[in-house]
Structure 1
Amino acid sequence: MSNLVILGAQWGDEGKGKIVDLLSEDADVVVRYQGGHNAGHTVKVGDVQTILHLIPSGILHPGKMCIIGQGVVVDPKALLDEIAYLEEKGIQVAGQLLVSERANLIMPYHRAIDKSNESHRGEKKIGTTGRGIGPCYADKMSRIGIRLCDLLETELFAERLADNLQNFNYILSKLYNLPELKFNDIFNEYQEYGRQLQQYVADTSLYLADALAAGKNVLYEGAQGTMLDVDNGTYPYVTSSSCCVGGSLTGSGVGIRGVDNALGIMKAYTTRVGEGPFPTELLESTGEFLRKEGNEYGATTGRPRRCGWFDAVVGRYAVRTNSLTGVCITKLDVLDKLPVIKICTGYRVGDELLHEFPASLTKLRKVEPVYEEMPGWQCSTVGTQSEADLPAAARTYLARLEELLQCPITIVSTGPKRDQTYIKTKMI
């Protein structure tokens, strides 16, 4: 038995979906443990591309059980739409998907509040997707959230909905000058969602406990990335959930014995979507080159991603905060045409040299990256199947990353397809 957490080790969008899909072959159960449909995982099998937002990438493998854990916030319409999307592609979902009865539901007032909050922030906006994720997590922590199991109890759902609408309609009308939401409209809409989703709802924590006791391999799939983690990331420019290894436990309902290894996914360069600090961001032609070559546009929003050189300060921070036992480098091929490649090894703030990622926004706004230059290889690495087949300069680059990260690189991805990858060390 070997159980593995796969998580983003930068600002998300590192290519986790492909790696989860690849390693799902050796898993019996695949669990999504946090986030909502603000995340997008793109998987390309052959020439067929599939974009997933809530359902684990393991769904593309027949016979694998996929679980949406209690740490995920679920928009029921988005989930039903995704199920329909997969079924239209001929992918079986019924019998392969379970959703935690403890998962909190995104409600219409969450979306309304999210969009209104963001629009009123002006230049100080966080860069949310406006899909209600943050307000739903806020309600969860305020203990007024509505869970899937609550939805399936009609009287309880009506009571919780009425209480919440009284509060949120006041905010919408008085603070944002928006029309109040109608109880009957929401109640009837969500009762229908509950009817359609009932077959998938289960005590997934118990299911996982039984699977672990039976010696099955469990793969935990994170969304977003370490630097967007609500506790460890570039706060307040973060998501609203725990993207790190700790979130895999609370978000799945398992204990520490449920995890054996943690694999951090990092691009061979760095990107982020939305607002907030980004020390290695390139605002000139090289940044545009990375965006174009890497097709750096959000799978969920379509927003162009900010691009920059690999940041080893961020990488070491992710290794430490997640106790990573391995790193996967993706999109190595995007660097193929560059004559010179840079790695950020530290930050300079005035006369101070930093080698660890600071919490202070004031410092992050002032940092100047300290770069180390390496020669590029200027030939194609697309589809390379082994380390020995890489150009010498690419091998040197990866070796330097491994040295700076103080963690072994166990997987290297050289293209978007499932087979454009080589595995140095098996982790599940």
Structure 2
Amino acid sequence: MDIVLGLQWGDEGKGKFIDLISENYDITARFNGGANAGHSIERNGKRITLKMIPSGIFMKEVQNVIGTGTVLDPVSFKKEILNLHTFEPAIQPEKNIIISLKAHLVLPTYKLLDIFMEESSDYTTIGTTRNGIAQAYSNKILRQNLRVGDMFLPDFQSRVQHILKRDYKMLEDKGMVALPALEPVIEEFFDAIDFLKKFNCTETEIYLNNALSDGKKILAEGSQATMLDIDHGTYPYVTSSSATAAGACSGLGISPKKMGDIYGIAKAYCTRVGNGAFPTEILDEFGDELRMKGNEFGSNTGRPRRIGWLDIPALKYAVMINGVTQLVLTKADVLSGLKSVAVCTHYELEDGTIETVSGALPHHAKPVLKWMAGWKADFSSIKNRSELPEELTDFLIYLETELEIPVSYLSIGPGRDQILKMK
């Protein structure tokens, strides 16, 4: 099993890369997250954002698994499938999407609870996508949630209604305004459940391990990114699941002994959506210009992304805990035309320096920037690595030296085929 995951704060371009290489695999499998993720894929001049659906969906012979470590919103899933049919009518997702019976469900009130907590002064404002993901994972840990397999039980409807009515009463008691009527919410949810039952729901752990035993190749797809990991990210401004390579094993039920290549995706600069530490953030007009040039707006929410210089200490940390074997670098084309580009080499503290940081970086740490010569090129015409500007080649060599892993792929534009295989 090979793994693709983000090394920064998300939005690194995982969907594009998975779409590119998934033809080399028999199965692509999502192992964490829910509809809060957004993997953008461009095909035939059109762009689609996949949230729950694995990014190998456009490969006819590839099976796509939504694993046990995910949380599935039936209403959002139905909308996404219908949108997929509109985007590419020839696709038959009912035949090549397999869903874990143990994946947890996102109930309609979870989104309302997300909104309430984000807007209430009684709670820490995290800057979530308000998709109910944290509520689903928290109820999972509390052992109070429902799973995909539960929808086949005779008392499923009554159990759902009990939870929804309980949540509504709590929100009403707390004075939440603009609370939608309950009955239409219930009707929409059960309609989506009937739609979900059309798909193959099974013990995906057994399916995946049998596939490996039969010699089939699996590509595990992570959502969000390492610095948003619930344990290893910049807590509390993180996602609610494990976004690391270890999370792929637990989220899919596959032994670590069966891991192969681990592809880490990173931008040539950093971006982040939502609140939380971002030491290399660029707060002047140049940051705004780079945001527009790179189209740095959340693929799922449309929110403007915060922009910063590449953080080498954080990247070393992400490479370390994931055991990354190959680096995929994106957005180098966005930096083209700059006289110089910067990377953060280390952080200064009053009592010394830090060269490898975790998600618990002290707030008073000062990033130290190294400036390197910028590059200029028409990236649309580059066909192989020998045509890259010398300055960009030097930049890539610097990253390989610092991170001690090869830059195996370089994205040179937003198009599906605009990526160079470097090794």
TM-score normalized with structure 1 length: 0.93
Please give the secondary structure, in 2, of the residue aligned with 1:232: coil
Instruction: Say if 2:386 is the partner of 1:350.
Output: no
Distance 1:69 1:295, change over 3 A: same
Alpha-carbon shift at residue 385 of structure 1 (Å): 3.0
2:385 equivalent to 1:387: yes
2:230 partner SS = coil
The CA distance in 2 between the partners of 1:341 and 1:183, in whole Å, is 53
Q: 1:343, 1:386 → 2: CA distance?
A: 25
Per the TM alignment, residue 286 of structure 1 is displaced from its structure 2 partner at its CA by: 2.3
- Among 42, 46, 49, the alignment partner of 1:48 is 46
**Residues 358, 28 of structure 1: alpha-carbon distance in 2 compared, 3 angstrom cutoff:** closer
Q: Percent identity?
A: 37
Whether 2:284 is the aligned partner of 1:261: answer no
Which position in structure 2 is the counterpart of 1:96? 96
Question: How many Å apart are 1:187 and its aligned residue?
Answer: 5.1
Q: Deviations over 1:313-371 (max 9, x none)?
A: 1110100110111110011101111100111111112343111214446x1x2222111
Could you tell me which residue of structure 2 aligns to residue 217 of structure 1? Answer: 217
Question: Partner residue of 2:116?
Answer: 116
What are structure 1's unaligned runs of at least 5 residues?
none
Distance 1:68 1:403, change over 3 A: same
Q: How far 1:287 sits from its partner (Å)?
A: 1.2
Q: Supply the distance in 2 between the matched residues of 1:183 and 1:419 (Cα, whole angstroms).
A: 46
Amino acid aligned to 1:403: T
The answer on whether the counterparts of 2:4 and 2:263 sit within 8 Å (CA) in structure 1 is: yes
Structure 1 residues 205 and 182: alpha-carbon distance in aligned structure 2, compared to 1, 3 A threshold: farther
Where do 1:409-424 residues align within 5 Å?
409-424=407-422
Alpha-carbon contact 1:341-1:373 (below 8 Å) kept = yes
Name the SS of the counterpart of 1:379 in structure 2. Answer: coil
The aligned counterpart of 1:227 is 227
Render the CA deviation track for 1:21-69: whole Å, top value 9, x for unaligned. Answer: 0010101100011111111111112412121111011001112101111
Gaps of 5+ in 2: none
Cα shift at 1:408: 1.5
- In the alignment of these two chains, the number of paired residues is 420
User: Helix, strand or coil: the match of 1:382?
Assistant: helix
Aligned position for 1:139: 139
Instruction: Report the CA distance between 1:122 and its aligned residue.
Output: 8.5
Q: Name the CA shift for 1:175/1:11 in 2 (closer, same or farther; >3 Å).
A: same
Superposed, 1:16-415 pairs within 5 Å as: 16-88=14-86, 89-90=88-89, 91-121=91-121, 124-155=124-155, 157-165=156-164, 167-177=166-176, 188-200=187-199, 201-360=201-360, 363=362, 365-382=363-380, 384-415=382-413
Cα 1:121–1:268 change in 2 (3 A) is farther
Which shifted more, 40-49 or 8-17?
Answer: 40-49
Letter in 2 for 1:98: I
Q: Distance in 1 between matches of 2:247 and 2:381?
A: 33
**Is 112-121 or 380-389 further displaced after alignment?**
380-389
Distance in structure 1 (CA, Å) of the matches to 2:377 and 2:161: 62
Q: Deviations over 1:116-169 (max 9, x none)?
A: 0001149951100111011111001100111111112131x1353255346424
Return the letter of the residue paired with 2:157: A
Return the offset for 1:192: 2.6
3-state SS of paired residue (2:149): helix
Q: Helix, strand or coil: the match of 1:51? A: strand
- The answer on whether the counterparts of 2:161 and 2:186 sit within 8 Å (CA) in structure 1 is no
- Alpha-carbon distance, 1:307 to partner: 0.5
> For residue 77 of structure 1, what is the amino acid of its counterpart?
V
CA-atom RMSD in angstroms: 2.0
Per-residue CA deviations over 1:270-302 (Å, capped at 9, x if unaligned) read 000000000110011221222111100001110
* Equivalent pair of 1:9/1:318 in contact (CA under 8 Å): yes
